[in-house]
Amino acid sequence: VQLQASGGGLVQPGGSLRLSCAASVRTFRTYSMGWFRQAPGNEREFVAASKGNGGSTTYGDPVKGRFTISRDNAKNTVYLQMNNLNAGDTAVYYCAAGNRLISSTLRYPNAYDYWGQGTLVTVSS
């Protein structure tokens, strides 16, 4: 499984970005997909996840109400819509894929089997 993340860039505070992550796998719909981020000097932080097979979505507390994860199983792609961005959202964003994840593990990086290369999001005026 290969994951290709894209969509990062420089955005002003209060602005929006949409990240995409394309997966090269035939059974994409069965995979749980997650977004994580890592700022310099910080540990990798859970952002959002979409459970496979039509399961639910879940979000990290810092992004609730501002970010939305969605997926298009026909395109093997997961998205992260990020609104009302602030400086604290500046980080490298990674997408991850895992098969047969249970809901309680979605926010833990070690639960995922595959990772994309990361895309940098910088929020600055």
Q: Please report the pLDDT score of residue 103 as a whole number.
A: 87
Q: Please report the pLDDT score of residue 123 as a whole number.
A: 98
In this structure, what token pair is assigned to residue 20? Answer: 């995409």
pLDDT, averaged per 10 consecutive residues of the chain (125 residues), comes to 96 98 93 97 96 92 98 96 98 95 92 96 97
DSSP state of 29: G
CB atoms near residue 44 (< 10 Å): 17
Query: To the nearest 10°, the Cα dihedral for 44, 125, 17, 108?
Result: 10
How far apart CA 124 and CA 9 sit, in angstroms, is 10
